[in-house]
Structure 1
Amino acid sequence: MSQWVEVSLKVDGEAAEAVAQELQKFCHQGVSVEQGGNMPIAWDEDENPQPEYLIVRGYFADDERAEETKQQIDRVLGYLNMMYPVGEAVYSTVADEDWADAWKVHYKPVRLGEHILIRPRWIDVETQPDDVVISLDPGMAFGTGTHPTTQLCLEALEKLVEPDTDVLDLGCGSGILSIAAAKLGANKILAVDIDPIAVKATIENAQDNGITEGIVAQTGSLETVLSSARRFDLIVVNILAKIIIPMCDNHLGDTVRPGGKAIFSGIIDEQADDVEAALRKTGLEPYERLAQGDWVAILAKRPA
C-alpha cells in the first residue's frame, strides 16, 4: 500500500498566504487553508468572529524523495521565519486511500454576513429560509471559505450584487465567489483562473449548487479578459497585493464599466495604501475598506 506524507502548520492569518504559496510547490495538487480552534458563529452583521488560528495543509508522496522534500520544506520555512514567525511543520503519514479526504475532517460549515452559509458538500446542516447556501468541495483549488480574504469578498458581494449584475471573478479558485454572486442574483459571471484545476473545480461546484447557466469558467488571465473587450458591472479579485498592483499597471481598471464597482482582497492592512494608489492610477476610486484581523478588502468604483 502506498502512503503519503501530510505536512501542516498552524499559522495566523497574515502568514497563511505566504506559507500556502511555498508549500504548494512541494505538495500534490496544492494545499488547503482551514480554520483552527473554536470559531464562533455570527449572524449579526456587526460581528466579525475570528478563528484562533489557520491550518495550512498539504500532501506529498512517501517515497525515496520524501526525506529530501521534508528538508526542502523546512529550509523554506526557515527563511520565512526570518521575516515573520510561521513556526515549524508537523509531518505525519496517511494511507493512499485516505489522503485525498484527510483534510476534510477539519473543514466545517461557516456563516458569513447576514445570510451566507458555506456548507462542505459532505456535511448536512440545518438552514434558515433566507440562507444563501453554498455547497462546496474545493478539491485542491484555493477557496474553502475559511480564509479571511475569501470571507471579506463574500461579505462585499452580499453588499454589492444586484439583480442582473454582470460579474468578473478574476482568479476564481474553487468558484466560491462566482457561486455566491450567482445565488445573490448576478446575471452573468465570467470565472477566470490560470490554473486548469481551479477552472474544473469551479465548474463542478457550480453544477453541485444547481447552477447550470450563468457561470462561464475558463482558463485565462487579465490579458484574456482585456482582449475579449468584455466589461463588467462588478469585478472581484481575491489574489494578493503583489499581483493586484502590477495588474493595475496592465489596465485592470478597464475591465470595469463606467459606474461599475470592484472588490479587491488578499491585502494585508499595511499594503492597503499602496494598493489604493495603484487602483487610482488604473482609473478606479477606492471608497471603502472591510477588515478582518490583519486582512483588508478594498471596494472601489469607476466614475460614471
Structure 2
Amino acid sequence: MNWSEICIHSTNEAVEPISNILHEAGASGVVIEDPLDLIIDRDALYGEIFELDAADYPDEGVYIKAYLPANSTLAETVAEIKEAVTSLIDHDINIGANKVTLTEVREEEWATAWKKYYKPIKISDKITITPTWEEYKPENENEVVIELDPGMAFGTGTHPTTILSIQALEKFLNENDEVIDVGCGSGVLSIASVLLGAKEVHAFDLDEIAVESTKQNAQTNDVEDKIAAKQNNLLNGIDRQVDVVVSNILAEIIVRFIDDAWKNLKQDGYFITSGIIQSKKQTVINSLESQGFQIIETNELNDWVSIVAQKK
C-alpha cells in the first residue's frame, strides 16, 4: 500500500485543533515543523539530541503533517479535512495560509518517513522522552525516561505545551499526590505524573482512541496499575478530591470546565493548564481568578503559555 503525506501550512495557534482533525480523519499521528525549533538554543537548556534541516521548515507559520492511506476514499477524506480546518475560523482560531498539499509516500519509505522526526529529547531537569525504538540510557539515576510510540494518538509529547505542562508537574506535584489528567491524549502527562511520584492518576479524554493510547503507553512504561484511563467529556460527572488537575488543551476549552476543576481539587490543590496562546492568556487568567483560583505562576515557551493556579 502507498501512503499520502498531507501537509497543512497553518499557525501555531491552530496546531492542536488541526492535529485533532487529522487524527479523526484516520491519521495515527502528526508531525509539526515549526521554524522556531531551528533558532532555539536548546543545548544551553538540557542538551537534547536534534537532527533538523532548515529546508523542511516554512519561513513563517508551521507545517502540520500526517500520513493517510492512498486509497479510493483519499480525495473525500482530504476534502473533509480542508472543510474542518477552514471552519476553525468560526471559533476565532487563526489558521494562517491554510495551504494544503499532498505527496505520495511509497510503502517501503513509510517507517523512515515517520522515524526520522523522532529522537530522544530531554524536556526538563528530570524527564527525557524517547520513542520506543530508540536505544537510550539515562545519564544519571535521577533521570526519568518516558517511552512513547508516536504512531499512536497525538504525537511524541515534545510539543511546547506538553513541555510546559511536565515542567509544572515536576515543580508542583508531590509524592503520593492524586492527579486528574483532562484530555489525556497519548497519556504522556499521566505517565509523567506517576514517574514523578503520583500515587494514582485518573485520565480522561472524549476520544476513545486517545484513551486506548494512554492505556498502551502506560503499559509500555510499566505504570498501568496507577493510571485509570476512561472516556469522558472533560470533567462532566466527575466527583473526586485530588491534589492536582492538569490539562493541556485549548484555552477555549479550559475556560469551560474551570468550575469543575475547582470542585474536584482539594484545598490548596493545583490546577495546571497549558495549550494557551499569548492572545488568550488573560482570558484564562480572568476566568481562573473569577472562580477563586490564585495564580501562582505563568510560564512561556515559543508562543505558548502555561498557567499554574491554586485553590485557596
Q: Report what 1:16 is aligned to.
A: 15
8 A Cα contact 1:267 1:297, kept in partner: yes
1:241 matched to 2:241? no
Identical columns (%): 35
Task: Find the partner of 1:253 among 243, 250, 262.
Answer: 262
Residues 208/225 of structure 1: CA separation in 2 closer, same or farther (3 Å cut): farther
Q: Which residue is equivalent to 1:300?
A: 309
The residue identity in structure 2 corresponding to 1:32 is V
Q: Is the 8 A contact 1:34 1:106 kept in 2?
A: no
Residues 1-304 of structure 1: pairs in structure 2 closer than 5 A: 2-9=1-8, 13-25=12-24, 27-35=25-33, 38=38, 41-42=42-43, 44=45, 55-71=63-79, 73-74=81-82, 83-86=94-97, 88-95=99-106, 99=110, 102-129=113-140, 130-224=142-236, 226=238, 229-248=239-258, 251-303=260-312
Alignment length, in residue pairs?
A: 295
Relative distance call for 1:15 and 1:220 in structure 2 (3 A) is: closer
Aligned counterparts of 1:125 and 1:10: Cα–Cα separation in 2: 33
In the TM superposition, residue 237 of structure 1 has moved relative to its aligned partner by: 0.7
Contact conserved, 2:235 with 2:257, CA < 8 A, in 1? no
Query: Which amino acid in the other structure matches residue 276 of structure 1?
Result: I
Deviations 1:198-223 (A, max 9, x none): 11111111111121421111111334
**Structure 2: how far apart are the matches of 1:237 and 1:140?**
19
**SS at the partner of 2:134?**
coil
Decide whether aligned partners of structure 1 residues 10 and 126 sit closer, same or farther in structure 2, where only a CA change above 3 A counts: farther
- Taking structure 2 as the reference length, what is the TM-score of the superposition? 0.82
| TM-score using structure 1 length | 0.84
Mapped to 2, the partners of 1:198 and 1:247 lie a distance apart of 20
Report if aligned partners of 1:74, 1:88 keep a CA contact under 8 Å in 2. Answer: no
Question: What is the distance in 1 between the residues matched to 2:299 and 2:67?
Answer: 33
Q: Check whether the contact 1:169–1:177 (CA below 8 A) recurs between aligned residues.
A: yes
Q: 89-98 or 76-85: which moved more?
A: 76-85
Counterpart of 2:30, as a letter, is S
Work out the CA distance in 2 between the residues paired with 1:274 and 1:158: 25
How far apart are 1:242 and its partner, in Å? 0.8
**Distance in structure 1 (CA, Å) of the matches to 2:87 and 2:240:** 42
Stretches of structure 2 lacking an aligned partner (at least 5 in a row): none
Gaps (5+ residues) in structure 1?
none
Calculate the aligned-residue CA RMSD, in Å. 3.0
Q: CA deviation at 1:85?
A: 2.3
